[in-house]
């Protein structure tokens, strides 16, 4: 991948409670600012690397000025996956069918441990997901759906995700847009997970979903006004 003089790259480095980092000595008035932006300088130019949050809320914004200012300096936006490409969306849909489902009428319950089946049955009974819709899905895909459903229930929206935010800004400023990888790579990565690991991944999502009504998801940079009070340190 070739960068211009400066590139602004968004990658899934973390999803929760980002560790504070600095892109150089703080400017006056920014000594207390905490954020999740890295600055990498080399002979070919500068890359600003930002961990992404795929779903957010309106009060995530405005982002710390150092993040927005760094984006404005960049010549190119490099996203984890280029979600602006219509063909990519079509490939994702096809990939979910091919890599996220069992063939020949096989069902998810045939591939789950007793503990995971129990938690999944409880989740389905409370209406988290429609049972017929997930009957032939692989555990890794159901795990993702559980997390998406719960995030939406708590008011998080992909339209407020950082990747969408900077994609919109790049379009407005006519910056070139690229991607670190395509969605097909990610789908193949998940579908290649061993059955035992997929089972544990789903179990983890279901247990988290049971706790989320009384727990908090710490999304956003520590110290940012968008961070829930109980997540601030």
Per the structure, the complete domain to which residue 90 belongs is given by 6-231
- Asked if the structure places residue 1 within a domain, the reply is no
The answer to whether residue 220 sits within a structural domain is yes
CA–CA gap between residue 215 and residue 212 (Å, rounded): 5
Q: 163-209 pLDDT, tens per residue?
A: 899 999 999 999 998 888 777 787 888 888 999 999 999 999 999 99
Q: What is the pLDDT of residue 18?
A: 29
CA distance readout (Å), 159 to 37, 76, 177, 181: 21, 21, 18, 21
Mean pLDDT (whole number) for 26-54: 76
| Section 3-12 average pLDDT | 56
- The 10 Å Cβ neighbour count of residue 113 is 15
**Does the residue 67 lie in any domain?**
yes
What average pLDDT does range 75-97 have in this prediction?
A: 77
210 or 22, higher pLDDT: 210
Task: Tell me the two tokens of residue 195.
Answer: 């059955």
pLDDT greater than 80 at residue 232: no
| Higher-confidence position of 8 and 66 | 66
Domain count, the chain: 1
Among 112, 140, 152, residue whose Cα is nearest residue 205: 140
pTM: 0.68
Whether 24 is in a domain gets the answer yes
pLDDT class for 131, splitting at 50, 70, 90?
very high
Q: How far is CA 89 from CA 71, 93, 184, in A?
A: 25, 6, 10
Q: Which two tokens stand for residue 26?
A: 């703080």
Q: How far is CA 106 from the centre of its chain?
A: 29
Query: How far is the C-alpha of 207 from the C-alpha of 190, rounded, in Å?
Result: 20
Domain membership of residue 50 (yes or no) is yes
Q: For residue 97, tell me if it sits in a domain.
A: yes
In this structure, the number of other CB atoms found within 10 A of the CB of residue 209 comes to: 19
Between CA 61 and CA 63 the distance in angstroms is: 5
Q: What is the mean pLDDT of residues 110-136?
A: 93
How many helices and strands (H and E) does the chain possess?
8, 5
Separation of alpha carbons 178 and 9, rounded Å: 9
> Which range, of 68-72, 129-133, 161-165, 213-217, averages the lowest pLDDT?
213-217
């Amino acid at each position: 991948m070739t960068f211009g003089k400066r590139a602004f790259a968004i990658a899934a480095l973390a999803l929760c409670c980002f560790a504070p980092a600095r892109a150089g000595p703080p400017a006056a008035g920014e000594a207390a600012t905490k954020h999740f932006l890295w600055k990498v300088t080399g002979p070919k130019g500068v890359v600003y690397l930002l961990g992404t949050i795929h779903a957010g809320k309106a009060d995530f914004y405005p982002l710390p000025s150092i993040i927005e200012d760094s984006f404005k300096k960049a010549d190119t936006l490099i996203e984890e996956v280029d979600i602006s490409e219509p063909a990519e969306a079509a490939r994702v849909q096809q990939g979910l069918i091919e890599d996220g489902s069992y063939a020949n009428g096989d069902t998810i319950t045939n591939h789950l441990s007793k503990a995971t089946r129990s938690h999944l049955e409880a989740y389905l009974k409370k209406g988290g997901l429609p049972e017929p819709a997930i009957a032939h899905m692989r555990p890794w895909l159901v795990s993702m759906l559980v997390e998406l459903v719960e995030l939406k229930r708590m008011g998080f929206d992909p339209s407020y995700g950082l990747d969408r935010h900077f994609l919109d800004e790049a379009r407005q400023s006519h910056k070139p847009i690229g991607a670190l990888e395509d969605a097909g790579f990610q789908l193949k990565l998940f579908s290649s997970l061993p059955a035992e690991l997929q089972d544990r991944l789903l179990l983890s999502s279901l247990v988290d979903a049971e706790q989320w009504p009384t727990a908090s998801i710490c999304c956003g940079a520590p110290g940012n006004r968008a961070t829930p009070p109980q997540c601030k340190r």
